């Protein structure tokens, strides 16, 4: 059994998760005041009231953009049009920025792009001329999660306006918890050691793991560490071998995997389709964008609830994983229109955020949005609890930690180390190897 488990891990060693903000989206028509034109032409429009924007998910962030366009048209500019250039995935936008910057031909870019939070600092550093800052935009930045704004504020300058956040939820099948003698209240403000204890009981009673993560479980390390207020980087350098909390967390991940409390499927699709939607697990911890994946199983309607993360010492844990913001490109000639649109909609309109939530499941990082009636409605699938108000409150508690353009590289190296440790490797040696590799890639 152990060999089979290890083989499964090794097969997925280099599989990267598609972050919610970076998943593939299918094609879909657009109507109303935001239209989708496909990826063939990502340029701008000559019409003075039209802005173009590149985004990628017709079921998530594109509906949010449409909600903003409708809000702005109805309440600010009746002639406004948002022309959505739908992409297959976030990587298409990243490629477009790289290509345009490398050739110096920014005219191939749209007025605005939706961009992943964890990538933006690297892209601004590598291609500073590809962007226009929004430092003078009419937005009260204090109305947003400090952790969220930290991504798009580079050298003290604001570059992006938040769209969606990745506030982490710890979701449980309450019916399966009850079979093992526990309730959702028992899971709030607990240690990871207690979580493992409950996980063993759930596994014994139901045969299901209490937690899952694709492949090597690398996102778990980041989320668990952030809930402790600690980063994988310190002063711009990797913080691994001298990071005692990281070591403790890696050991917990390995222990949970070996105990069967943590399920590690081979790939992202196995994680979403087989583990979560295939009813193999009693718990899911990830950015709130995982909610539609959970909700896809109609038979589990009313059986899930959410709470905060476990932590090492048992305090309630808060973290964020994923999310995106809107950025104005160097090609935008209607910068004032773009700034006004962003400031009015995602910068402060609960109408926009209510529509984004209802139409696309996009959860705001704009704190006042959590007070709206829409956010405080009970969600039937989650036992009629107001999960979006809960998420809004949780997101405001996420601590700001040091971020790095090498976030995904670090994730890869630590994930490989986890696999090696499960396979019998020494924790100290494997983490030293991960840190050395990361330092090499960073040119240290």
Residue-range domains of the chain with CATH: 2-8+168-319+402-442 (3.40.190.10), 20-166+321-395 (3.40.190.10)
435 vs 422 pLDDT, higher one:
435
22 vs 131 pLDDT, higher one:
131
413, pLDDT greater than 70:
yes
19, pLDDT greater than 50:
no
Q: Which of 34, 294, 310, 277 is nearest to 186 (CA)?
A: 310
Q: Give the list of residues 6+ apart from residue 292 with CB closer than 8 angstroms, or none.
A: 59, 60, 361
13, pLDDT greater than 70:
no
23, pLDDT greater than 60:
no
pLDDT over 70 percentage in the chain: 90
- Between 27-31, 151-155, 331-335, 416-420, the lowest mean confidence (pLDDT) is in 27-31
- Between 135-149, 171-185, 215-229, the lowest mean confidence (pLDDT) is in 215-229
Residues 107-159 have pLDDT tens digits of 999 999 999 999 999 999 999 999 999 999 999 999 999 999 999 999 999 99
Per-residue confidence band for 20, with pLDDT thresholds at 50, 70 and 90: very low
Residues 259-303 have pLDDT tens digits of 999 998 888 889 999 999 999 999 999 999 999 999 999 999 999
11, pLDDT greater than 90:
no
Predicted local distance difference test score (pLDDT) of residue 59: 87
- Between 42-46, 310-314, 333-337, the lowest mean confidence (pLDDT) is in 42-46
Structure tokens at 181: 């003698």
Query: Do the Cβ atoms of 6 and 39 come closer than 8 Å?
Result: no
Local structure of residue 39 (DSSP, 8 states) = S
Contacts of 427-436 with CB under 8 Å at 24 or more apart are 427/247, 427/250, 427/251, 427/254, 428/241, 428/247, 431/240, 431/241, 431/246, 431/247, 431/250, 432/240, 432/241, 434/240, 435/238, 435/240, 435/241
420, pLDDT greater than 80:
yes
Q: How far is residue 107's CA from residue 224's CA, in Å, rounded to a whole number? A: 42
Predicted local distance difference test score (pLDDT) of residue 419: 87
3, pLDDT greater than 70:
no
58, pLDDT greater than 70:
yes
Average pLDDT of the chain, as a whole number: 90
311, pLDDT greater than 60:
yes
The three-state secondary structure class of 114 is strand
318, pLDDT greater than 50:
yes
Residues 59-98 have pLDDT tens digits of 899 999 999 999 999 999 999 999 999 999 999 999 999 9
**E strands, 243-319, in order:** 262-263, 283-287, 304-307
Predicted local distance difference test score (pLDDT) of residue 216: 57
Q: Give the list of residues 6+ apart from residue 260 with CB closer than 8 angstroms, or none.
A: 200, 203, 209
22, pLDDT greater than 90:
no
Dihedral of the alpha carbons of 264, 269, 273, 274, in degrees to the nearest 10: -40
175, pLDDT greater than 90:
yes
Predicted local distance difference test score (pLDDT) of residue 17: 33
Structure tokens at 91: 């990587």
Average of per-residue pLDDT across 396-404: 95
Average of per-residue pLDDT across 220-229: 97
Between strands 160-173 and 304-307, the pairing is antiparallel
């Amino acid at each position: 059994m152990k060999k089979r488990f290890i083989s499964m891990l090794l097969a997925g060693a280099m599989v990267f998760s598609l972050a919610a903000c970076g998943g593939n989206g299918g094609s879909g028509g657009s109507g109303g005041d935001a239209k989708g034109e496909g990826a063939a032409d990502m340029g701008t429009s000559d019409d003075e009231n039209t802005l173009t924007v590149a985004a990628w998910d017709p079921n998530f962030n594109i509906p949010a953009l449409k909600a903003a366009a409708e809000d702005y048209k109805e309440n600010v500019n009746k002639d406004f049009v948002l022309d959505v250039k739908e992409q297959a995935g976030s990587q298409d936008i990243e490629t477009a920025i790289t290509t345009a910057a490398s050739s110096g031909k920014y005219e191939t870019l749209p007025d605005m792009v939706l961009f992943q939070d964890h990538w933006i600092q690297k892209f601004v550093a590598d291609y500073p001329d590809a962007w226009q800052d929004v430092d003078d935009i009419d937005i009260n930045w204090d109305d947003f999660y400090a952790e969220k704004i930290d991504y798009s504020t580079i050298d003290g300058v604001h570059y992006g306006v938040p769209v969606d956040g990745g506030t982490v939820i710890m979701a449980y099948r309450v019916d399966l918890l009850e079979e093992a003698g526990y309730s959702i209240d028992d899971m709030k403000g607990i240690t990871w050691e207690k979580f493992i204890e409950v996980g063993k009981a759930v596994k014994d009673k139901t045969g299901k793991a209490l937690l899952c993560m694709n492949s090597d479980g690398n996102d778990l390390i980041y989320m668990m560490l952030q809930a402790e207020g600690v980063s994988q980087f310190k002063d711009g350098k990797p913080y691994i071998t001298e990071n005692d909390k990281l070591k403790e967390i890696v050991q917990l991940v390995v222990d949970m995997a070996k105990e069967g409390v943590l399920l590690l499927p081979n790939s992202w699709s196995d994680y979403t389709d087989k583990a979560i939607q295939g009813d193999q697990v009693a718990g899911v911890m990830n950015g709130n964008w995982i909610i539609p994946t959970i909700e896809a199983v109609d038979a589990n309607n009313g059986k899930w609830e959410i709470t905060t993360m476990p932590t090492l010492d048992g305090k309630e844990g808060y973290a964020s994983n994923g999310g995106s913001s809107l950025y104005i490109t160097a090609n935008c000639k209607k910068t004032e229109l773009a700034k006004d649109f962003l400031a009015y909609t995602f910068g402060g309109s609960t109408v926009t955020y209510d529509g984004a939530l209802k139409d696309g499941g996009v959860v705001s990082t704009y704190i006042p949005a959590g007070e709206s009636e829409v956010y405080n409605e009970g969600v039937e699938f989650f036992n009629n609890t107001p999960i979006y108000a809960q998420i809004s409150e949780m997101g405001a508690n996420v601590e700001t930690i040091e971020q790095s353009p090498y976030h995904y590289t670090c994730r890869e190296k630590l994930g490989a180390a986890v696999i090696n440790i499960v396979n019998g490797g020494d924790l100290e040696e494997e983490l030293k190897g991960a840190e050395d590799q990361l330092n090499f890639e960073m040119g240290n």
